[in-house]
Amino acid sequence: MKYIGLIPNWHKKNSNLVVEKIASFFKQREIKLKVADKHQADFYSAESLAVQLSSWEENLKLIIVVGGDGTILRVARDLACWNIPILGINLGQKGFLAEIEVEQMERFLQYIATGQYDFQERMMLEARLTRGEEELGYYLALNDLVISRGPFSRIIKVEAYVNEDFMESYSGDGIIIATPTGSTGYSLSAGGPIANPTMDLFVVTPICPHSLYNRSVIVNGKDKIKLRIDSRQVQVVLTVDGQVRFALEDEDQVIVCRSEQKVKLVCFHDYSFYRMLHQKLKA
C-alpha cells in the first residue's frame, strides 16, 4: 500500500501544530501517513536524508515538506534520486518553492487526498570541484552554486568558460550560477533576470562586479561552464544552495553542467508561475 511521507523542519516555529493538523486530516480519510521524527529528519546531520529515511522509499507516493525554502532545497537535493513528487508547505518567509501557505493548507490537502494534483520537473545542476588532477567534490543543486569572497572585503577574480570558450573574467565579490528555479533567489538579489522554472538554462550573474559593464548572461542548459579561481592570498568559498560550503584555493576549477537528475515539485490545476511571482514580489 502506498503512503504519503511527511518531513517537517522541527526547528521551525509552529511546526508541531502544522504536523498535528496534517496527521489528523489524513487519519480522518484513512490515508496512510509516515512522519519523520527529529532523529529521522536531522537537517543538521551531514548524513543524507536518503540514508536517514532509507526504509521509506519502496512504497512512498508523495513527500510533503513542512518548512521554508531551505528545508525544501535540502529534501530536494537529498531525495531527488527517489524520483518522488515533493509538496512544500511554507513556514518560512517568502517561499518560492513551497506550493502552499499554511493558511491555505486544508483546501490543497483535499486535492492531494483526491488525487487532483500534478507535478513539474525542475532541472538541477551538478558541479565537480577539481584541484590539479584531483577531484575534491561532487555537488548537486536545485537553486544555485555561488563562488564568493570570504569574511574580508577583498576583490576576488573568477574566470568563466563556456564549452572551453573564454567568456569573461569576473572581478568583484564573486559569481552565481543559478538554475531557472534559483533565478528568484540570490541571483535576483544580485540583479539577475527571472526565468520560468520549466526552462532549460543557467543564469550567470556577477556579485557586486568591479566593472561598469558586467551583466548577467543566459547560458543554454546543454552547455558546460568552467569556473577557474584566480585569487591569490584571498579567501574564496564555494556554496551550494546556500547550505553546503567548501573553501577554495587559487587555480581550483569548478565544472558546472545540467544534471540528469530532476526534481518533481507538486503543482495544482490553477497554478501560475507569473501569478505566484506577482504575489511573492509585490510591495
Domain segments of the chain: what residues? 3-117+268-281, 124-260
Q: Which of 10-14, 218-222, 230-234 has the highest mean pLDDT?
A: 218-222
pLDDT of residue 212: 78
pLDDT of residue 269: 85
pLDDT of residue 47: 86
Q: Is residue 78 among the annotated active site residues?
A: no
Statement: residue 92 has pLDDT above 80: no
CATH architecture entry for 124-260: Sandwich (2.60)
More confident residue, 102 or 130: 130
Summarised one tens digit per residue, pLDDT across range 46-64 is: 889 999 999 898 889 999 9
Cα–Cα dist 197/208, whole Å: 25
Pairing state between β 100-101 and 86-90: parallel
Q: Out of 102-106, 196-200, 276-280, which region has the weakest mean confidence (pLDDT)? A: 276-280
pLDDT of residue 153: 78
Mean pLDDT of 151-174: 93
Matching fold, domains 3-117+268-281 and 124-260: no
Q: Which CATH superfamily, name and number, covers 3-117+268-281?
A: Probable inorganic polyphosphate/atp-NAD kinase; domain 1 (3.40.50.10330)
CA distances from residue 257 to 98, 123, 138, 144, 163 in whole angstroms, order as listed: 25, 11, 12, 12, 10
Catalytic residue among 37, 42, 69, 230: 69
- Backbone phi, psi, residue 240, to 5°: -115, 120
Q: What count of Cα atoms within 13 Å lies in the side-chain half-sphere of residue 196?
A: 9
pLDDT of residue 98: 84
pLDDT of residue 45: 82
Mean pLDDT of 275-279: 87
Cα–Cα dist 65/49, whole Å: 12
Statement: residue 283 has pLDDT above 70: no
More confident residue, 84 or 40: 84
Statement: residue 143 has pLDDT above 80: yes
- Residue with the three cell numbers 515539485: 265
Pairing state between β 100-101 and 134-141: unpaired
pLDDT of residue 53: 93
The kind and range of the H/E element at 70 are helix 69-79
Percentage, residues of the chain above pLDDT 70: 99
Cβ partners under 8 Å of residue 33, min gap 6: 3, 4, 5, 6, 22, 23, 26, 27
Q: What is the grid cell recorded at 262?
A: 530532476
Statement: residue 154 has pLDDT above 90: no
pLDDT of residue 147: 97
Say whether 174 sits in a helix, a strand or coil: strand
CA distances from residue 205 to 92, 146, 182, 214, 281 in whole angstroms, order as listed: 25, 10, 12, 9, 20
| Nearest Cα to Cα of residue 117 among 267, 261, 1 | 267
pTM summary value: 0.92
Return the amino acid letter for 280: K
- Backbone phi, psi, residue 51, to 5°: -80, -45
Statement: residue 237 has pLDDT above 90: yes
Cα–Cα dist 254/260, whole Å: 18
Summarised one tens digit per residue, pLDDT across range 204-220 is: 999 999 987 789 999 99
Q: Out of 45-59, 163-177, 249-263, which region has the weakest mean confidence (pLDDT)? A: 45-59
Q: What is the mean pLDDT of the chain?
A: 92
